[in-house]
Structure 1
């Protein structure tokens, strides 16, 4: 442990950049892993339940470890527990469920672009709470991003047709749920710590999806899944859920949130590349143009926000 700390202190910028990029790529690979698991006939609810069951012990272990290291942890109030329950249902249950359901109908690349627009939803929710209109430059950035999204969506509708609209709506609902989680959980995360809130929210999410599974079908369906589905679920829980949380947290502590946010722009590009190489998803000039517009809109929106905050 001391050797790792020494390495981080020796070249913090290089480590921070590397961890931020690794976290962005791992997060983005989630859609690819889910698609690969779907090839074996598993449904969205069962796959989500397996992900939560496998990642929960990791987060609880991290919670115990951080609690032992920090003896001055703030005590949670009844209100804190209530907010954590709500954020867990929004950010780790509903957001994930809508996302997994949407991935049954659209490509991984389109899914990542839709999710990537969540900063605009956070902005709109914040403006609604403060009862004020977004500034003209903010509307311009959002317009640029959504024009790019419509370019990719329109082209994929022509290429694949089918249930592209349904899949896009489900993933957009996921983005709304995640943005709501960020709005409600921002103060909790800052005051109680990311690991603490994430572990408890994951516990709430796991309980919610298990209740849902128990209503829909026998619980035994989880244990009857083939080895391939369990294998992809382990990858999803560890490499696409647990590892990137720590990678991004460490990167923020080393190089700051604004720079980590900038490096996160690699996420949609990574998903497009992985989707094309691994899943043989289409990638045309329209995908490139649309992706560039989305990245430009979100980048201008978040970078100017960080600059004004600074």
Structure 2
């Protein structure tokens, strides 16, 4: 494969993966509307996707000339539980109280949180570009947040806080994932991370619901579970990890700007959510803000923390 074809396929992986991950909130909203719970959908999501991750992980291990370090595998497992269990739970709970569009914008802000973490804990300087990015990104979020708060009340505040906490935790995941991906490779890292999260979610579900007392799922909820597991979890997870390995984190993150736009289009078409000037303004402000940050060039050793992860799309 030529270098151009290699990068072109990376571009396709990043674009399609971002859109599929963005559809996660749409499918979750549909499932909640027909009576499913957050815990049920998390269980179905991981129950259907776990075999895929286990198979890919075993195949990746067989192809490796040497066995990976246990430390790297444990780090991948821990990062997976952080991102795909805890972050997902917070994100899905937040979706009960916010629109899919606001949820996606809040998660989309995670690169700004990575920059702030680097400033607070690593002593990195915040440049003018960082300041402008932060201002634009959060201006967009607060524009849409204010609109929903005035229309739906205090529940929006609670839901937004849950999603924002998920974004903070995902920023931590992003910061730690790049060096582990470099050691394990994207397929094996993704398989270990998602498998660990799947096992922890199934344990969580068995404790919450009770062993042998699993509820019956309607055919429609099962269908949403399959869609969530295959098309909004397994496929985009591998696509985006592979995109990072082909394009690098910066370009992949920049391509992730399409995520909130795709989510807004799907939310309007599928969920019949409103779309007016606050939504358009919020999208423009946040996309420009994150675009500035994701295309910035690191000047110091610590700055790559801003660019070490995945595109702004897949928390949870």
TM-score norm. by structure 2 comes to 0.87
Structure 2: gaps of 5 or more residues: 308-316
For residues 124 and 250 of structure 2, what CA distance do their matches in structure 1 show?
25
Secondary structure of 2:34 counterpart: coil
Report the equivalent of 1:232: 224
Report the equivalent of 1:265: 257
Which aligned pairs between 1:37-186 and structure 2 lie closer than 5 A?
Answer: 37-74=31-68, 76-77=69-70, 79-161=71-153, 163-186=155-178
Seen in structure 2, the aligned counterparts of structure 1 residues 99 and 241 have a Cα distance that, compared at 3 Å, is same
> Any conservation in 2 of the 1:265–1:295 contact (CA below 8 Å)?
yes
By percentage of residues, which structure has more helix?
1
> Any conservation in 1 of the 2:31–2:221 contact (CA below 8 Å)?
yes
Equivalent of 2:26, from 23, 32, 39? Answer: 32
Give the total of aligned pairs.
302
For residues 259 and 224 of structure 2, what CA distance do their matches in structure 1 show?
20
Pairwise CA distance, 1:222: 4.3
Pairwise CA distance, 1:187: 1.6
Structure 1: gaps of 5 or more residues: 1-5
Report the equivalent of 1:3: none
Secondary structure of 2:272 counterpart: coil
Pairwise CA distance, 1:212: 2.4
For residues 72 and 242 of structure 2, what CA distance do their matches in structure 1 show?
25
After superposition, the CA RMSD in angstroms is: 2.3
Bigger shift: residues 120-129 or 100-109: 120-129
Bigger shift: residues 144-153 or 51-60: 51-60
1:121-153 per-position Cα deviation (integer Å, ceiling 9, x unaligned) = 111122223134423331221111001110011
Seen in structure 2, the aligned counterparts of structure 1 residues 12 and 206 have a Cα distance that, compared at 3 Å, is closer
Pairwise CA distance, 1:91: 1.0
Q: Is 1:303 equivalent to 2:295 in the alignment?
A: yes
Equivalent of 1:208, from 200, 204, 208? Answer: 200
For residues 20 and 159 of structure 1, what CA distance do their matches in structure 2 show?
35
Secondary structure of 1:188 counterpart: helix
Pairwise CA distance, 1:224: 1.1
Report the equivalent of 2:310: none
Equivalent of 1:20, from 14, 17, 21? Answer: 14
For residues 192 and 249 of structure 1, what CA distance do their matches in structure 2 show?
12
For residues 208 and 150 of structure 1, what CA distance do their matches in structure 2 show?
34
Runs (4 or more) in structure 1 with deviation over 6 Å come to: 306-310
Seen in structure 2, the aligned counterparts of structure 1 residues 171 and 146 have a Cα distance that, compared at 3 Å, is same
Pairwise CA distance, 1:82: 4.2
Seen in structure 2, the aligned counterparts of structure 1 residues 307 and 253 have a Cα distance that, compared at 3 Å, is farther
For residues 10 and 118 of structure 1, what CA distance do their matches in structure 2 show?
30
Report the equivalent of 1:194: 186
Pairwise CA distance, 1:52: 1.3
TM-score norm. by structure 1 comes to 0.89
For residues 73 and 247 of structure 2, what CA distance do their matches in structure 1 show?
31
